[in-house]
Structure 1
Amino acid sequence: MPVADSALRRSLLSLALGAFATLGLGPAARAGEVEVLHWWTSGGEARAAQALKASLQAKGHQWKDFAVAGGGGDAAMTVLKSRVVSGNAPAAAQIKGPALQEWAAEGVLASIDDVAKAEHWDEVLPKVVADIMKYKGSYVAVPVNVHRVNWLWVNTAAFKKAGANVPTTWDEFFTAAEALKKAGITPIAHGGQNWQDLTTFEAVVIGVGGADFYRKALVQLDPATLKSPTMEKALATFKRIKPYTDRNAAGRDWNLATAMVIRGEAGMQIMGDWAKGEFIAAGKQPGKDFICTPAPGTAKAFSFNIDSFAMFKLKSDANTRAQRDLAAAILSPEFQETFSLNKGSIPVRLGLKMDKFDDCAKASAKDFVDTARSGALVPSLAHGMAVPAAAEGAIKDVISQFWNSDKMSAKEAMDRLATAARTR
């Protein structure tokens, strides 16, 4: 999770004394050593990290792995704060979204404009992505990959049994849900966790209001948009989904919900493309056993979640050169392909051949390019890409409260959303 600016400052100050006591500065780094903090510890991710390591070693540099498992990065951020205040920052750390700006504001990130210019990053990256990687106009981070969040996953056998059609609109979605319900199949696999609630909600907002509306409401946090008739309709549509989930949804992990669709116990799930990895691991084939399609009404929009590495200021010239080579390697066509094939995502670099990717990834890559051109490429609120962590957390709480309440009206939820958006 990103850390809000004020929270980050407090955390750095509060951790300083303890960090100096527990973490020494350590031996001097070897020439050309690059230390990388990440949480790529699962099978596919670990293989991708090894590919990056091999790329650096081929250039004569030493790779020092700084993997911190657990918590979706929360544990890694705690360790990183300690390292930074001790004056012993790694060369690169896995940080994303608005948190990049918060770290850069602390003065600890290095400009990598020299690499970006030499490698033509402004030409090979969509502007909306490049802007997230910059602080005051200078690159301080390099993006790794792209996950599309606004996917709908469909079990083809379940739909055939129910006589349902794959929906492209919210009206069609509820028609399909009714057919699945009558066939004795749970229509929507859902995990009742706040980030999953928000993932579903942002897909509804895009589907009901479009990309521009979503951007004004959930990225710019415009008060009038948050309290508009369109937002009221989005909230009402979102709430209509819940009766089509099962009673055991509360607290369920996303992958267990995906497993329900894989087994045909449920017909659909709204989830990012990491769900595809679960289908593939179960031996299922896209287009045959399951269908990946944009969430209803969102075919012309793309809600993204991007992994990225922030580059920290270093004292050693040799290590700085290694850090620059790391940044260049991450956006190289070879690594972009290798990593995304392992992780189930798509390359963030534009213009790459997709011959080795499956149909879901090919469709995602085409939509990524098309929406970058049309202006419908938007950052995911639910996955830390859109707003500072404090506002995201407050909005997340409101959405889950609305989802789980039998008494809260859409208008009351709108008022609470507008208040949550002011959280800093």
Structure 2
Amino acid sequence: MRSSLRRSLAMMLVACPLLSTAAGGEVEVLHFWTSGGEAGAVAKLKATLRNDGHTWKDFVIAGGGGGQAMVLLKSRVLSGNPPTAAQIKGASIPEWARTGTLSSIEGVAAAEKWDRLLPKIVSDTMKHKGVYVAAPLNVHRVNWLWVNASALRKANARFPATWEEFFAVADAMKKAGIAPIAYGGQSWLDLGAFESVALGVGGPDFYRKAFMELDPSALNSPQMEKTLETYRRIKSYIGRNAVGGDWVRGTSMLIKGEAGMQLMGDWAKAEIQAAGMKPGIDVLCGATPGSANAFTFNIDSFAMFQVSGENRAAQNDLARAVMSKDFQETFNLAKGSIPVRMDVKMDKFDECAQRSSQDFSKSAKRGALLPSLAHGMAQPSQTVAAIWDVISQFWNQDRMTAAEAMAKLTQAAKAHAAAPPK
């Protein structure tokens, strides 16, 4: 009996360290996906982490990101109680990294060979000083034009490839009694449409100099003047019933054929599919005029905050799961975006997603993958806000000339380019 008891105690002592090592951690994630297919995809991610032995805790901000989410996040971080990860993207990642509160996931990235799976401009966006501190979930294409196929037939027109063709199609739709362009009343749409016009008018090099480098010569160039004039010309083709409200209302008008075209990222596809329409067939898709050889992107990502113990292991498992082929496929099928990994098969995706993925790969090879200014990928939030304000003024104030707008853009860029990083 005694020898048996000793053996049992010895086995328990040996087993205890193993049990404690295998104990799961808690994964608390700040995100904004609470409805529809997005919530279903996140549920799959939760299940994966739970299968790894971890506990998932939502830190959800209703109504999306915005200032409220960042205020709450900062409060948590300053109090020494950060979440495991937060939905942060683009230029905000290095801003957070400079505070010293982000955690390296370089070990996971190296083991999983992320540098081989991601275009360099994307991997660089996820790094601070060459070290991964965030994991990308998807890619949204911003320079996307949607055209109602029925409206195009009624106008006896073809999908436009240039801005002059775009306005010719708009004229034909107007004659056919169709509002040419659906346009929401949200000011971020102004900047999104403006950057797509700039890309089509000036090309990738101009876009890079103007919005990524804030080069005064680009902001005050003939190309910028033409961009502003082309952008303002769009306004005359927006019907009274095709403006106002949010982008979802505009997409609804597009779906119903009440409006013929919409300048909108591929998140519009979720609304198109929800209405029982087929992207690429009922509602046609293509690059915005003049931008077929480039790709402006908006990427959702999880920035990782400093945690310890079992939670650190859970954080690594989260990063690994987010970049897995399985999750990349499931999440992006639900989101309307495309996988950020370039080795995911696109068989299950619709025609527009497949075309977007092909363009993503081609643009990566030719160096024409460009971070979206409007969506905080190209510049810090303060810089985006300053440029945003100028473009909104130009859109809403017909008396403002292109020259005045260029001067204001140059002034805004100069002020923020000179400001020290926070």
TM-score by length of 1: 0.91
Does residue 156 (structure 1) correspond to residue 154 (structure 2)? The answer is: no
Does residue 384 (structure 1) correspond to residue 379 (structure 2)? The answer is: no
Q: Paired residue for 1:105?
A: 98
Give the whole-Å Cα distance in 1 for the aligned partners of 2:78 and 2:367.
Answer: 39
CA-CA distance at 1:252 after TM superposition? 2.0
Give the secondary-structure state (helix, strand or coil) at the position aligned to 1:346: coil
Find 1:406's aligned residue among 398, 402, 413: 398
Give the whole-Å Cα distance in 1 for the aligned partners of 2:243 and 2:353.
Answer: 30
Counterparts in 2 of 1:248 and 1:158: CA distance versus 1, 3 Å: closer
Letter paired with 1:203:
S
Find 2:321's aligned residue among 308, 311, 329: 329
Does residue 348 (structure 1) correspond to residue 340 (structure 2)? The answer is: yes
Native 8 Å contact 2:242 2:259 kept in 1: no
Give the whole-Å Cα distance in 2 for the aligned partners of 1:196 and 1:88.
Answer: 35
Cα displacement string for residues 78-117 of structure 1 (whole angstroms, at most 9, x for unaligned residues): 2211110110001111101111111111000011111111
Give the whole-Å Cα distance in 2 for the aligned partners of 1:218 and 1:73.
Answer: 22
- Which shows bigger deviation, 62-71 or 234-243? 62-71
Counterparts in 2 of 1:282 and 1:250: CA distance versus 1, 3 Å: closer
Letter paired with 2:277:
K
Q: Paired residue for 1:318?
A: 310
Letter paired with 2:348:
K
Q: Please, which runs of 5 or more residues in structure 1 have no aligned partner? A: 1-29
Give the whole-Å Cα distance in 2 for the aligned partners of 1:182 and 1:391.
Answer: 41
Does residue 244 (structure 1) correspond to residue 245 (structure 2)? The answer is: no
Q: Paired residue for 2:217?
A: 224
Give the whole-Å Cα distance in 2 for the aligned partners of 1:252 and 1:168.
Answer: 28
Does residue 207 (structure 1) correspond to residue 200 (structure 2)? The answer is: yes
Find 1:306's aligned residue among 292, 299, 306: 299
Moved over 6 A (4+): none
Give the secondary-structure state (helix, strand or coil) at the position aligned to 1:347: coil
Give the whole-Å Cα distance in 2 for the aligned partners of 1:82 and 1:95.
Answer: 15
Give the whole-Å Cα distance in 2 for the aligned partners of 1:40 and 1:202.
Answer: 26
Does residue 84 (structure 1) correspond to residue 69 (structure 2)? The answer is: no
Letter paired with 2:331:
F
CA-CA distance at 1:347 after TM superposition? 0.3
Does residue 176 (structure 1) correspond to residue 204 (structure 2)? The answer is: no
- Which shows bigger deviation, 268-277 or 412-421? 412-421
Give the whole-Å Cα distance in 1 for the aligned partners of 2:362 and 2:24.
Answer: 43
Native 8 Å contact 1:97 1:384 kept in 2: yes
CA-CA distance at 1:286 after TM superposition? 2.2
CA-CA distance at 1:72 after TM superposition? 3.3
Count of residue correspondences: 394
Give the secondary-structure state (helix, strand or coil) at the position aligned to 2:103: coil
Q: Please, which runs of 5 or more residues in structure 2 have no aligned partner? A: 1-22, 417-422
Find 1:45's aligned residue among 15, 38, 50: 38
Q: Percent identity?
A: 62
Give the whole-Å Cα distance in 1 for the aligned partners of 2:241 and 2:386.
Answer: 25
Find 1:374's aligned residue among 359, 363, 366: 366
Cα displacement string for residues 183-205 of structure 1 (whole angstroms, at most 9, x for unaligned residues): 11111111132210111111100
Letter paired with 1:173:
F
Q: Paired residue for 2:120?
A: 127
Give the whole-Å Cα distance in 1 for the aligned partners of 2:66 and 2:34.
Answer: 11
Letter paired with 1:351:
D
1:13-32 paired onto structure 2 within 5 Å: 31-32=24-25
Letter paired with 1:208:
V
Q: Paired residue for 1:11?
A: none
Give the whole-Å Cα distance in 2 for the aligned partners of 1:188 and 1:300.
Answer: 23
Letter paired with 2:377:
M
TM-score by length of 2: 0.91
Native 8 Å contact 1:154 1:269 kept in 2: yes
Letter paired with 2:126:
M
CA-CA distance at 1:264 after TM superposition? 0.7
Give the secondary-structure state (helix, strand or coil) at the position aligned to 2:414: coil
Native 8 Å contact 1:193 1:250 kept in 2: no
Cα displacement string for residues 305-350 of structure 1 (whole angstroms, at most 9, x for unaligned residues): 0000010111x32110110011011001111001001111100011
Native 8 Å contact 1:33 1:318 kept in 2: yes
Give the secondary-structure state (helix, strand or coil) at the position aligned to 2:386: helix
Give the whole-Å Cα distance in 2 for the aligned partners of 1:135 and 1:127.
Answer: 13
Structure number with greater Rg is 2
Q: Paired residue for 2:276?
A: 283
Native 8 Å contact 2:243 2:250 kept in 1: no
Give the whole-Å Cα distance in 1 for the aligned partners of 2:243 and 2:155.
Answer: 25
What is the Cα-based RMSD across aligned positions, in Å?
1.2
Give the secondary-structure state (helix, strand or coil) at the position aligned to 2:239: coil
Find 1:292's aligned residue among 273, 276, 285: 285
Give the whole-Å Cα distance in 1 for the aligned partners of 2:126 and 2:359.
Answer: 21
